[in-house]
Amino acid sequence: MTQFKHACNRRMLRFLGRIFVSAQTQRSLNPAAVHRCFCSAAYPCLAVKPIMEPKLYRPPPEVRGMTALDKDAFTQTITVPALRVPIGVLNKVVKSLKKSSIQRPGVPRVVQDKEQSSDFRLVLLDPRRVSAPSSFSETEAEALRSFSVSEELHYYELKLTYDNLKSEEVLEAVLPQGQDVTSAFSRVGHIAHMNLRDHQLQYKNLIGQVIMDKNPGVTCVVNKTNIIDSTYRNFKMEVLAGEENMVAKVKENGVTYEFDFSRVYWNPRLSTEHQRVVQLVKRGDTVFDVFAGVGPFAIPAARLGASILANDLNPESYRWLQHNCKLNKVESKVRAFNLDGRAFIRGPLKQELPALMRGTSAVHVVMNLPALALDFLDAFRGLLHHQEPPCDENLPTVHCYGFSKDDDPDTDVVERASRSLGFPLKNRCSVHFVRNVAPNKDMMCVRFTLPKDVLFGSDAEESEPIEEPASKRQKCEETTNAT
């Protein structure tokens, strides 16, 4: 029973984490789904009164199964309540009825009085909240009396079009009943990035058009396919709607980045994690970024005054890393490399480390390749075994990321890191939960001081290591629904 409770708690924490992260990165969640989940979790301790009449604003049934978007087919007329308000107090009444007035995309709250009187206007009310004069709250009723406005309800024939519907309302009306409806996406500059499921692919172009229409600033909608192409095994991006322009410009934590989203790796949901690690870096420190991508760790750290050696195997990531260093005016503080991760550790890092360990400024090694980074820790075995250990040890701090599907992900990643290093890290490290990337799959970060016995040990790993695969930077990281 105790294990069952712990499992339930983990699932709830993961669910809450997904809601929190989605809110940070503009991912849209279906409010009704969240409402149902919390209601079922709270029952029978809490009775929740629904605030939304389910059939209200529902598009005509004829749109069900539509695969090519026909905006005119969504047009309908509904009747909504209204108050007849004198012009002189109109603004005050609208302000007082903010919670009860209609709130739909593109629908005005105030319209011309149907009697065409120049002295009055109609304030349209939300039919979900107001069905009779008694529906007004005490505060609202008191305000109406103070402005000498009658609570008598009038009715207005409101024409609703496609433009007045939300994306989830359109998709719920079109997709087959009982199937998953998604309007979730990751925003990368002007690009909306979706991970559609198989049953949604028939409607992919319609979904793309709806997402673009309903999200200002989005001019391209793409879907990650399962087709892998190019030497670097990038997941091909299929354009669902809009322009085929993959060069995005984004701003994260005050830093501007530009890159070709179809050829490098970028995840907007890692913004908080980038900031968390960068805040550990001080002016004068040195950072070795083994899998640097386009620079989300390296560039902010350089702006703080640290010296950076940043590496990436993907030539496109390397090129955009250099570009972004210039864009943010830190090119003098960042040395960029285009090497395999192990070659970077056994080359530039090995060459620079002895001198840095004789200094007093901190040394950080960032290894953000969750699918494989833990396996790369073996590159540190015996790295400096031909050298004498310095008297005053200034050992590097390693921040290594990994995925875990284990029920105890903290223990799992520590054990895997220990095996790779050939040194027990239990009680010698800290583990940070980064995010839930898929059902029962967590991204974790292990932080530890690189052991002296590992660096200067004589048992250097002589066996042929697993090479860093070319899938490294784009999309190998989260092959399930994780981006």
Structure tokens at 38: 């919390």
Q: Is 181 exposed, middle or buried (0-12, 13-18, 19+ CB in 10 A)?
A: buried
418, 426 in Cβ contact below 8 A? yes
Bridge partners of 186?
193
Structure tokens at 161: 């079009």
Cβ atoms within 10 Å, residue 82: 24
| Residue 274 assigned ligand-binding role | yes
Q: Is 98 exposed, middle or buried (0-12, 13-18, 19+ CB in 10 A)?
A: exposed
388: alpha, beta or left? (left if phi > 0; alpha if psi -120 to 50): beta
Write down the number of H helices and E strands in the chain.
13, 17
| Residue 313 assigned ligand-binding role | yes
CA angle (454 as vertex; 463, 351 as ends), nearest 5: 85
In angstroms, rounded to a whole number, what is the distance separating the alpha carbons of residues 185 and 105? 20
Q: Would you list the DSSP string of 383-450?
A: TTTTSPPPSS--PPEEEEEEEE-SSSHHHHHHHHHHHHHTS--TTSEEEEEEEEEETTEEEEEEEEEP
| Residue 213 assigned ligand-binding role | no
| Residue 341 assigned ligand-binding role | yes
Cβ atoms within 10 Å, residue 195: 17
Residues 6+ apart with CB under 8 A from 30: 168, 181, 183
Name the DSSP class of 165. S
| Residue 29 assigned ligand-binding role | no
In angstroms, rounded to a whole number, what is the distance separating the alpha carbons of residues 71 and 210? 10
| Residue 70 assigned ligand-binding role | no
In angstroms, rounded to a whole number, what is the distance separating the alpha carbons of residues 476 and 483? 11
Annotated binding site: 274, 312-313, 340-341, 368
Annotated binding site for S-adenosyl-L-methionine: 274, 312-313, 340-341, 368
